[in-house]
Structure 1
Amino acid sequence: MPETALPEVVRRRGRYRRRLRSRIILSFVLLGFCLTTLFAFATNWARMRVENQLVEDVMNRNLDASWQSYMRSGGTDVVAPVQQMRAFLFRPDKLEGLRRDYPEWEGLQDGIHTINGEDAEGKPFSYKVGVRKTPDAWFFIAYDMGQALRGEQQLNRALFLSVIIFSLLSWVLGWWSASRVMRPVSDLASRLRAYRGGAKHPEPLAPRFPDDEVGQLAEALDDYSERLTEVVQRDREFNADVSHELRTPLAVIRGATELLLARPNLDEKVLQRLQRIQRAEQQCSDLIGSLLLLSRNERAQGSSNVARVAEQLLESHRAQLGGKPLELVLEGSRELVVDAPESALSVALGNLIGNAVKYSQEGRVLVRVGANAVEVIDNGPGLSEKDAASLFQRGYRGTHAGHSQGGGIGLSIVSRLCALYGWQVDIRPGKERGVIATLTFAPEQP
């Protein structure tokens, strides 16, 4: 993983950890809030139901007592005393007082009724009325609910305060629990971040954690780390073996070619073939070096003149044109120097020039060196939308590849080299036809 990507990964991990802790705290707060709210609602509902039931039972008993007292008195206006209530008796033939003082009672049927409204001063009132109508007399029992309403308001305020207090307590408990739960996870993440692959075998994590879910995660990470270390070790050994086994025959080819080229009076055809072998050996050496750097994700030190490397690549392709009517042209700045070895630049730029030469059947291929970039412009068949979307995928071969040789990995290697050195590569269709490939280099560090 590139070093520049590590801070972003660390930030994402920290954000996910905070989100997990926040979710735990939020779960506790929601649980406490919902349970307290449900309890408050149930308490208020039970209080109202019990209170109404008790009031109605008392009112019904007082109505019965008033009727019995009326019957025992032989039809006089005497009624039994009423507990915390007011009793009224009206004869059916004398309802003037009822219509004057309590007009809303006249139409009420037998039973218990609730009357709500506002008085002359605009203050709300509420009371219950018990009604018992007989042919001889109408009995009314009135119970003022004002005190009950004030008690209900006080209870509601107490319940609302309880919801807030218990929600705050749930938040404190959730924060404490989340800290306890997340501490081993944070410790595990810190130990993983602290390890940078310096040791051949990383220190096991599982012995440092209890035998719980985090411990099981640590064991799985240890197992994965062990297998990954074996893979990395095999990869390093393979790279070292490949580097040695490939560079040795290339060195032999290079030495033999230099000895043969040093001979005087060589035939022109033999000379051209030897030079072609020499160029092919140099291209193989550059490619092997670049691939080994990519496999180790390391930058090689050095500097390269872009125009000189481009001229060498164009000269190599001129020798392989055969009879193709194609002109290879270099123009632009000769002073652009990039902070990269010639082998890496040769592989990246060589793939772009090689594709331009391969797909252009006539006309010219122009390599233009700018202030901080180089463009490769050809007169080939152009670029389709499908090619533009998949051009840098490993193994992808363009729609115009036909039966040409190649495995479709050239531009993938270019893309990986650009990511390694901080360059940018862009391939777009030309104005009329062909393709324009642009390789933009990273600015020089101060």
Structure 2
Amino acid sequence: MRHSPSLRLRIVGAYVLLALFVGACFSAIGFEALDRIENALVDHRLKEAADRLIDDHLGGIDHQLPGYPSVLNASEMSSVLRALPPGLHELRYTHQHVHVLIRDRGGQRFAVIEDESEFEVIQGHVSIALAAAFVLCVVLALVSGFITASKVIAPVTRLAEAVTGGSLRPDSPLLHADDEVGLLGRAFFDSTETLKRFLEREQLFTGDVSHELRTPLTVILGAAEVLQVRLAGQPELQDIAERIRRAAAEASGRLGALLLLARAPETLHAPLTEVAGIVQAEAERYRPLLQGKPVELAVSVAAGCVSVPARPELVATAVGNLIRNACQFTERGQVLVRVEPCSVVIEDTGPGIPPEIAARVFERREPGPVGSVQGTGLGLTIVRRVAEHLGWKVELLRGAEGGSRFVLHLPAA
């Protein structure tokens, strides 16, 4: 997942980028101005004064003043100067920087030389000053950005703390601000109140559902117990009554666990539960679904299996749904259930799940076709929800013989 910078860093970054842009513009303008000043004050002045300086030189007048241009004739020029064509030239030496104007006059060549070493020193100082000003601007922008960001982010931070801590009340000053923070606070408050009302309705609904479903299950359970007593001496019918009683008892227990999971998952007690025993019991529970089918149901338990912290009802719900689906949708072949130290694998030789459905098979959907059979729509959604609550991971893979392979990855106890 790509990490996005915080709002504070974005504000500081905007300040720094602005300082870099403005500083770069001013520095470029400054260096360009220095270059133009050099051309205007040195080169232009040298061209304007060249004729007069040459006339003075021919008249025997030499201006030996510091910083004043000097004139050399052809015999006084060095080999470097004699090689220069007429025009303005700039020569740089180790400790000297001169501008030279070569001009022909009356059949003779003259060199008007002006030492610009002092101007170069001044130009260097100005360049250092511009660079220092540029760095100072960036530092000031960085400091100003952090100060401004702290002031801007402070109300947002207080709002986030109020929302996280549940202390956002109708009379909070954050809700009555006229800026964007107030607008955001009011939006958060309205959304939170809507969610609270929704959760309250859901809690009331789940309580009513629990009461309405427990009553008929209790009646079924009591009737099955009475039926067992009255069918004494009839083993075949007594077995059916026992299956009814056991199914009602298990449904009642799982109903309570699922309703509590839907209402407040963090309140569920999680004792250490042996997974292997529950898997074997669930396999036996759904074995009757294979009657009349050429399908073999096999359960294997590997050595080293441990217990996991989980409610037994939830473990049975997750495992039972997967075993039931495998038994229901497999018409021939086998259903293999393996309990390993850190996983439970349910693999079948059924029609499998088409690739276009496999990516969203754990999402809630309307009952509909899954391959050549009808999907339940809710079973795998419940499996995923239970797995997420228990800290497990459920994975769908393709079976070795074309069916489906579901793997429940269990954390170590």
TM range, smaller chain: 0.7 to 0.9
Partner of 1:21 in structure 2?
8
Letter in 1 for 2:228: L
Moved more, 317-326 or 153-162: 317-326
CA–CA separation in structure 1 for the residues paired with 2:119 and 2:190: 69
Q: How does 1:150-161 map to 2 (within 5 A)?
A: 150-161=121-132
Provide closer, same or farther for how the CA distance between residues 167 and 217 of structure 1 changes in structure 2, counting only shifts above 3 A: same
Matched, 1:104 2:70: no
Matched, 1:39 2:26: yes
Q: Deviations over 1:134-158 (max 9, x none)?
A: 4466554321111111211122122
Matched, 1:191 2:162: yes
CA deviation after TM superposition for structure 1 residue 42, in Å? 1.4
Q: Deviations over 1:392-429 (max 9, x none)?
A: 2333889864243x433212211111111123334434
8 Å contact from structure 1 (residues 297, 420) kept in 2: no
Letter in 2 for 1:141: V
8 Å contact from structure 1 (residues 116, 124) kept in 2: no
Letter in 2 for 1:422: G
Q: Deviations over 1:306-350 (max 9, x none)?
A: 444344433332344442233434443799654333321221111
Provide closer, same or farther for how the CA distance between residues 159 and 410 of structure 1 changes in structure 2, counting only shifts above 3 A: same
Provide closer, same or farther for how the CA distance between residues 100 and 304 of structure 1 changes in structure 2, counting only shifts above 3 A: closer
Letter in 2 for 1:85: Y
Letter in 1 for 2:378: I
CA–CA separation in structure 1 for the residues paired with 2:59 and 2:272: 121
Partner of 2:346 in structure 1?
376
Secondary structure, counterpart of 2:265 in structure 1: coil
CA–CA separation in structure 2 for the residues paired with 1:100 and 1:443: 91
State which of 56, 59, 64 in structure 2 corresponds to 1:77: 59
Q: How does 1:107-256 map to 2 (within 5 A)?
A: 107-109=85-87, 113-118=88-93, 123=94, 125-135=96-106, 140-195=111-166, 203-204=169-170, 206-208=172-174, 210-256=177-223
CA–CA separation in structure 2 for the residues paired with 1:102 and 1:327: 107
Q: Percent identity?
A: 30
Moved more, 230-239 or 185-194: 185-194
CA–CA separation in structure 2 for the residues paired with 1:29 and 1:226: 41
Unaligned runs of 5+ in 1: 1-11, 71-75
CA–CA separation in structure 2 for the residues paired with 1:142 and 1:126: 10
CA deviation after TM superposition for structure 1 residue 43, in Å? 2.0
CA–CA separation in structure 1 for the residues paired with 2:80 and 2:338: 107
Matched, 1:360 2:327: no
CA–CA separation in structure 1 for the residues paired with 2:46 and 2:346: 101
CA–CA separation in structure 2 for the residues paired with 1:54 and 1:191: 67
Secondary structure, counterpart of 2:71 in structure 1: strand
Matched, 1:325 2:303: no
Moved more, 149-158 or 363-372: 363-372
Letter in 2 for 1:376: I
8 Å contact from structure 2 (residues 104, 110) kept in 1: yes
Secondary structure, counterpart of 2:365 in structure 1: coil
8 Å contact from structure 2 (residues 273, 308) kept in 1: yes
State which of 216, 224, 230 in structure 2 corresponds to 1:263: 230
Partner of 1:65 in structure 2?
52
CA–CA separation in structure 2 for the residues paired with 1:169 and 1:376: 65
Q: Deviations over 1:63-114 (max 9, x none)?
A: 34357779xxxxx634585974334375xxxx54457684135x314xxx12
8 Å contact from structure 1 (residues 423, 441) kept in 2: yes
CA deviation after TM superposition for structure 1 residue 231, in Å? 1.3
CA deviation after TM superposition for structure 1 residue 381, in Å? 4.2
Give the number of equivalent residue pairs: 407
Unaligned runs of 5+ in 2: none
Q: Deviations over 1:45-79 (max 9, x none)?
A: 21331232122343244234357779xxxxx6345
Secondary structure, counterpart of 1:395 in structure 2: coil
CA–CA separation in structure 2 for the residues paired with 1:297 and 1:247: 19
Q: Deviations over 1:245-293 (max 9, x none)?
A: 2222222222222222321358777656545544553454355334323
CA–CA separation in structure 2 for the residues paired with 1:422 and 1:339: 10
Q: Deviations over 1:187-216 (max 9, x none)?
A: 222222223xxx9xx524752464322222
Provide closer, same or farther for how the CA distance between residues 357 and 114 of structure 1 changes in structure 2, counting only shifts above 3 A: same
8 Å contact from structure 1 (residues 430, 436) kept in 2: yes
Moved more, 263-272 or 298-307: 263-272
